Homo-oligomer: A and B are copies of this chain.
Amino acid sequence: MTDNPYEASPERRAQRLAETAPTECDVRVGRLVTDLIGRVADKWTMIILEVLEEHKELRFTELARKVEGISQKMLTQTLRHMERDGMVTRTIHPVIPPRVDYRLTPLGLSLGAAFCGVWIWAEKNLTEVEAARTAFDAR
């Protein structure tokens, strides 16, 4: 990506203003949104988000068990990213076997809610997507 596709074409911006804009979101935020979505939407973040929505507070090994399939490395890494983005809080209890609790912040919860739309879409259009795939593969 040499430079930003969101600002490239003046006609495109004109069109955006002329038409009933399909997304009324600001164009310049677009890059950051893409970035954010890319970061937030990977496989593990979603699952961890979901698990932490159910059980509001979990420690490291509990998460590792619930997520089931994640490596320690990925769990640590994902949790750090989520912490950095303000999605989870990490509280260390200085006890004898170390204990660290993770829980969602309001920000994290709201993200989960935002993704609910996609979730519902997937639920609604599941069969259509699967049909499209099998039709495509059968050619």
Contact = CB atoms under 8 A, between A and B. Distances in A.
Copies of this chain in the oligomer: 2
Interface residues of A, number: 69
Given A110-B121, A119-B23, A46 B33 contact: yes
A29 to B, nearest CB: 5
Contacts of A131: 86
Pick from A83, A130, A131 the residue with the most CB of B within 10 Å: A130
A59 interface: no
Interface of A: 1-5, 8-9, 12, 15-16, 19, 21-23, 25-26, 28-30, 32-34, 36-38, 40-43, 46-47, 50, 53-55, 65-70, 83-86, 107, 110-112, 114-123, 125-126, 128-133, 136-137
